[in-house]
Amino acid sequence: MQGLFKRKGSDIYQGRFRIPSPLWRERNRLIGLGVKDIPKTQEHGRSTGKSDRDEAGEAYRAMLVAWDAKMAAWEKVLADGPMPLTPKQQMALAADHARAFVAAYDEDPYSAPPSPPVPQPSLGDDAHWIAMAEKMPPSERQRFMRDLRAYLKSQDEKRRSSLAFKLLDRYPDIRPFIAPHLASLLEAAHGDDTDKAVASKALHIDAEARRLVNLEMLSFMGAAHRGLEAKRGGNYNPVPELEAAPAFVPPAKTSTASSKADPQFTFRSIVAAETARRALGKDAKPFPASTPRKYLKRGEEFASWRQSQGLSKSAALDARTVTREEVERWRASLLAGSELTNRTINDKVSCISTIIKWGRRLHREAFHPEGNPLAGLEKLDFKVLDSDARTYRIDEAVAVLRAARKETEVRRRWLPWLCAYSGMRIEEAGQLTAEDFFQVGERWFLRVSTSGRRSLKTASSQRRIPIHPSLEAEGLLDFVRKVGKGRLFKSNRIQPLMSEWVRDTVGIKRPELSPNHGWRHFFEDLCALANMSDAARDFMTGRASGKSRDQYGRSELMLPGLAKAMDKIPDIIGLLMAEAEGGDQV
């Protein structure tokens, strides 16, 4: 469970965190593999440090991203064990952290924390030195005593530390009684740096690699602090040691034969099987072409994220292994990106849940036998704009229609007029053909249908719409006759093309307005203004009421009635003029 809460008596928001059940069951094994920071309970709270809910929410999302990275690292530890690092990777990991440290305080180097004291290893008691010196040849013993005297006489902290490491390097026999003390000093001085560096790369390393990274941190963090000291003196030249060090490149991921997914359980195969099932039977109702594309896209997005968390490509595509906790982490990463609306994120998660539901129906006990792990997953809240905020105002509608008159590109010329006087969705208008226009008596109509592999939102979207007199006067039918046969418009990128044109060329910047869908709301407002019946309005706009009137207008006998209803709709440009004059156009 995720979310914000306050502890009793505190104004600070806490964030909820939960260890996924598969990891919680393996917590003892994780401890044995060297994971040190496992909480005592599966669910727990952590302070965001914020009393304002919006600020706390932003902090919480950032904390969730870090938490997700940690959970992914734990999963990888269980799968692969600690990650081995080459000497170059140890150096690069420390150097990357040091470069980030310098960058964080580049604008204000005075705000940087002080450099930790340089570790000073204890050289033990005289007995160790005497015993070791006795084993050395005379020439080596003389060099050893010279290096030891230089270390003992040195008063400079940095030089003394350098000489200590020189002793360790030249005389391996002293390591057993100096190295443990040195390791604890390095952990105290740079353990936090190593923790941050490891977490930033979603790594897990063993104790030996950690000691070696701590040692590299001693060198590179020392260089970082010297670089910040130079900046405080006005010298903003790059830090030479950090410039020369390599960047961290993670070890190549390996895959094993056991990680291969059964092709029948992939997201793609489940969507394909459901699409085929829906098309079976004489009177089947197959998916519109856009539906499988949508679910395939969502499955690929989720699989790509799973792969980024350390799974092999084949394992990431396997829908059998999806867990609720994993989807919650994916959702949290989408929220942290701050680019998608909560409504869009809900849709992505819902698509994965639906694919799993299809898979359970297809494979039964072989697929999530305990039930859909996403069943009951609470959706994110989101604000819903009122219809009047998304629709066109009369002055905006007139501005778009007048701008369309000046266009030579046929989509921009005719789509706004068609949508304004019919309530069609922009995709429906974009799919029209010359053959969709037909005449009954003296009146022209257009047909919105699924023929020719076109897709509509619902069955009730198939309908016939009278051509408004203003469209005839504008020359729409002349345009249709000129096309003669086939599609009226190129359908490529119709939605973004029209939205960009309304925003950038016509210049309507109001953020609440929906440049394409706003025409449907606008047309419904015109219907209300004209006192059109609900049945006629719902049929023309293709809205399903669930009643028998959804069949209204499907017989040619009823088309004249629709035409009379359409004729009640006022001329839009004339309506603005009448409004400006204080009159009533209806």
The answer, yes or no, to whether residue 251 has pLDDT greater than 70, is no
pLDDT tens-digit map of 532-562: 998 888 888 887 655 544 444 456 777 889 9
Q: Give mean pLDDT, residues 108-128.
A: 70
Q: Residue 368 burial (CB < 10 Å; 0-12/13-18/19+)?
A: buried
Q: HEC states along 50-103?
A: CCCHHHHHHHHHHHHHHHHHHHHHHHHHHHHCCCCCCHHHHHHHHHHHHHHHHH
The answer, yes or no, to whether residue 386 has pLDDT greater than 80, is no
pLDDT tens-digit map of 194-248: 888 887 776 777 777 888 888 888 889 989 999 999 999 999 999 999 999 999 9
pLDDT band at 124, cuts 50/70/90? low
Question: Which among 274, 280, 276, 277 is positioned nearest to 299, based on CA atoms?
Answer: 274
User: To which residue do tokens 């869908």 refer?
Assistant: 517
| Distinct helix (H) and strand (E) counts, the chain | 26, 6
Q: How far is CA 52 from CA 10, 58, 59, 529, in A?
A: 12, 10, 10, 45
Q: Give mean pLDDT, residues 61-87.
A: 77
Question: What does the angle CA 365 – CA 367 – CA 373 come to, to the nearest 5 degrees?
Answer: 110
Question: Which among 261, 205, 254, 279 is positioned nearest to 34, based on CA atoms?
Answer: 205
CA distance 515 to 495: 9
Query: The dihedral of CA 287, 291, 293, 296: what is its sign?
Result: negative
- Beta strands (DSSP E) in 148-206 are none
pLDDT band at 132, cuts 50/70/90? low
Pick 117 or 217 by higher pLDDT.
Answer: 217
pLDDT band at 261, cuts 50/70/90? low
498, 516 in Cβ contact below 8 A? Answer: yes
The conformation of residue 501, written as its DSSP 8-state character, comes to I
Could you give the 3-state DSSP secondary structure of residue 465? strand
Checking DSSP bridges between strand 443-448 and strand 437-440, what pairing results, if any?
A: antiparallel
Q: Residue 286 burial (CB < 10 Å; 0-12/13-18/19+)?
A: middle
CA distance 552 to 550: 5
Q: Give mean pLDDT, residues 412-433.
A: 93
CA distance 425 to 400: 16
Q: 126-135 and 138-153 are packed helices; what angle lies between their axes, rounded to 10 degrees?
A: 150
Structure tokens at 288: 């519109």
Please count the other Cβ atoms lying within 10 Å of the Cβ belonging to residue 252: 5
Virtual torsion, Cα 455, 457, 460, 464, nearest 10 deg: -50
Pick 274 or 149 by higher pLDDT.
Answer: 274
Query: The dihedral of CA 403, 409, 414, 419: what is its sign?
Result: negative
CA distance 6 to 51: 9
**Phi-psi sector, 173: left (phi>0), alpha (psi -120 to 50), beta:** alpha
Q: In what helix (H) or strand (E) does residue 585 lie, and over which residues does it extend?
A: none
- pLDDT reported for residue 276: 83
Give the strand order in the sheet containing 43-47: 4-6, 13-18, 43-47
The domains found in the chain, sorted by start residue, are 4-57+64-76 (no CATH), 87-244 (no CATH), 259-366 (1.10.150), 387-580 (1.10.443.10)
Could you give the 3-state DSSP secondary structure of residue 32? helix
CA distance 66 to 171: 42
The conformation of residue 503, written as its DSSP 8-state character, comes to I
CA distance 159 to 164: 9
The answer, yes or no, to whether residue 249 has pLDDT greater than 50, is yes
CA distance 470 to 570: 9
- pLDDT reported for residue 33: 74
User: Residues for the chain: how many in total?
Assistant: 586
pTM of the model: 0.43
26, 78 in Cβ contact below 8 A? Answer: yes
- pLDDT reported for residue 133: 66
Could you give the 3-state DSSP secondary structure of residue 136? coil
CA distance 351 to 334: 15
- Find the largest Cα–Cα distance for the chain: 121
CA distance 401 to 399: 6
The conformation of residue 458, written as its DSSP 8-state character, comes to S
Could you give the 3-state DSSP secondary structure of residue 236? coil
User: To which residue do tokens 């989408």 refer?
Assistant: 334
Structure tokens at 152: 């003992």
Question: Which among 231, 128, 134, 244 is positioned nearest to 181, based on CA atoms?
Answer: 128
CA distance 104 to 86: 27
